[in-house]
């Protein structure tokens, strides 16, 4: 039933995309002036999801400030206009309309969350505006039929596939349950786990969810204490995920807990501290403190120079990489900067090295990177990268 529901939702979105694909309403140079390139963003800048929105914005601004200090893109400075949507789809739609109709932006960038993308993508397609680097791994964004959407990060399906693969290969765990947020985001991750298990002739042991914008996780805790899964994959926001782990461990659960990158690893670890020892989070960008990676070293250097109050983390690292990829595409447009020229330039990017992080696009594939790695929460709430789950700290030791 839930799988059919998700398919129906995605079908509706794609149908809307097909209906509203007549092409741009505005001129091809919309958002481009003699001095500026206007980029629009709607994301959570207040409320429980603000760490994600501010992280994407600040990471991107770090690179945009650098590009502007070097003269911009052919003498045009990039100006990012960011509006707060509080992770609310209706607010996201209103912000997007404002960005398109009032501000006249060239493209939409760095939107945060699957609900926001579900709301904004049909609008972007109707207006013929590129929708670049959303912080979402939802599969509908990776449909080949959607010409205007370009993803940098790996998908939720790839993150959950990595989790299932490692749980079985490294730990021999096959009794796997799912705790998820009851919305498009959570259900996208749930479907990813289901597919990964189905490939291995396995099924989800049991699943439980919580309502969005709450920490009402007690019913889920009770359900999993009965089934005692070997591992629980979480597709949830930071606060409810942290509360869930805390209550499960206080009740004596010995399950391994895993979450996907959108949770915000640093924020989750900060809430859990020592109760989070051994909790695993997949990541879609390099470890933001490994300055041996050129992109990470550059981010540290530029953040210190342009946004000294910003502390590097995984989310602003993602924003930084997305902005760097965007600028590379803009610089490679062979003639005047237009939306059509941007799309063609993007689709010609092949194995581009952004400094230890690579991305590629083509006409048939708008999925930029397949990079997925693992990290774990350690003593004191510090996170560190791991290569496999055999390296996990034992919380019960």
List pLDDT tens digits, range 80-119: 999 999 999 999 999 999 999 999 999 999 999 999 999 9
Number of Cα atoms under 13 Å in the Cβ half of residue 73: 26
Three-state DSSP class for residue 387: coil
Q: What fold is seen in the domain 20-154+291-359?
A: Rossmann fold (3.40.50)
Task: Give the containing element (helix H, strand E) for 84.
Answer: strand 77-84
- The DSSP bridge pattern shows strands 358-359 and 352-353 to be antiparallel
CATH 3.40.50.2300 residue window(s) in the chain: 20-154+291-359, 156-283+373-391
Predicted pLDDT of residue 144: 77
End-to-end CA distance of the chain: 41
Task: With a cut of 80, say whether residue 368 has pLDDT above it.
Answer: yes
| CB contact at 8 A, 210 and 236 | yes
Compute the distance between CA of residue 232 and CA of residue 225 in angstroms, rounded to an integer.
Answer: 11
SS3 content of the chain, % helix, strand, coil (to 5): 45, 15, 35
pTM score of the predicted model: 0.90
Task: With a cut of 70, say whether residue 9 has pLDDT above it.
Answer: no
**Structure letter (DSSP) for residue 73:** B
Q: How many Cβ atoms are within 10 Å of 332's Cβ, its own excluded?
A: 15
Task: With a cut of 90, say whether residue 20 has pLDDT above it.
Answer: no
Predicted pLDDT of residue 396: 78
- The DSSP bridge pattern shows strands 131-132 and 77-84 to be unpaired
| CATH code at 156-283+373-391 | 3.40.50.2300
Which tens digits make up the pLDDT trace of 231-249? 999 999 999 999 999 999 9
- Transcribe 284-328 into DSSP letters: SS--TT-TTSHHHHHHHHHHHHH-TTPPP-HHHHHHHHHHHHHHH
**Number of helices (H) and strands (E), helices first, in the chain?**
12, 14
Which residues on neighbouring strands pair with residue 26, listed in sequence order? Answer: none
Alpha-carbon torsion (28, 358, 261, 168), positive or negative: positive
| CB contact at 8 A, 107 and 131 | yes
């Amino acid at each position: 039933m839930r799988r059919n529901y998700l398919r129906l939702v995605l079908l509706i979105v794609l149908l809307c995309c097909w209906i509203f694909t007549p092409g741009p309403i505005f001129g091809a140079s919309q958002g481009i002036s003699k001095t500026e390139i206007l980029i629009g963003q709607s994301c959570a800048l207040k409320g429980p999801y603000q760490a994600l929105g501010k992280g994407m914005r600040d990471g991107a601004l770090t690179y945009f400030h650098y590009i502007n200090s070097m003269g911009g893109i052919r003498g045009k400075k990039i100006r990012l206009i960011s509006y707060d949507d509080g992770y609310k789809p209706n607010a996201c739609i209103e912000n997007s309309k404002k960005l398109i109709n009032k501000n006249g932006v060239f493209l939409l960038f760095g939107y945060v969350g699957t609900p926001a993308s579900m709301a904004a993508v049909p609008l972007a397609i109707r207006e013929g505006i590129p929708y670049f680097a959303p912080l979402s791994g939802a599969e509908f964004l990776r449909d080949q039929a959607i010409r205007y959407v370009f993803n940098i990060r790996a998908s939720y399906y790839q993150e959950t596939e990595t989790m299932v693969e490692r749980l079985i290969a490294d730990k021999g765990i096959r009794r796997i349950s799912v705790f998820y947020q009851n919305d498009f985001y959570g259900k996208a991750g749930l479907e990813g786990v289901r597919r990964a298990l189905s490939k291995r002739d396995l099924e989800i042991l049991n699943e439980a969810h919580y309502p969005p914008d709450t920490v009402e996780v007690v019913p889920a805790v009770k359900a999993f204490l009965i089934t005692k899964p070997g591992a629980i994959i979480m597709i949830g926001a930071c606060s409810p995920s942290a509360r869930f782990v805390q209550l499960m461990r206080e009740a004596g659960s010995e399950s391994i807990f895993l979450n996907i990158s959108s949770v915000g690893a640093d924020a989750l670890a900060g809430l859990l501290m020592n109760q989070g020892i051994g909790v695993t989070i997949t990541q879609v960008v390099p470890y933001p403190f490994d300055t041996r990676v050129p992109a990470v070293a550059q981010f540290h250097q530029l953040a210190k120079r342009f946004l000294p109050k910003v502390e590097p983390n995984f989310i602003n690292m993602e924003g930084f990489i997305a902005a760097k990829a965007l600028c590379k595409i803009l610089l490679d447009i062979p003639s005047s900067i237009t939306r059509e020229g941007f799309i063609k330039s993007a689709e010609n990017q092949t194995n581009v090295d952004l400094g230890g992080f690579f991305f590629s696009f083509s006409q048939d594939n708008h999925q930029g990177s397949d990079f997925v790695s693992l990290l774990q929460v350690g003593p004191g709430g510090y996170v560190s990268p791991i290569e496999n789950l055999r390296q996990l700290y034992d919380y019960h030791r």
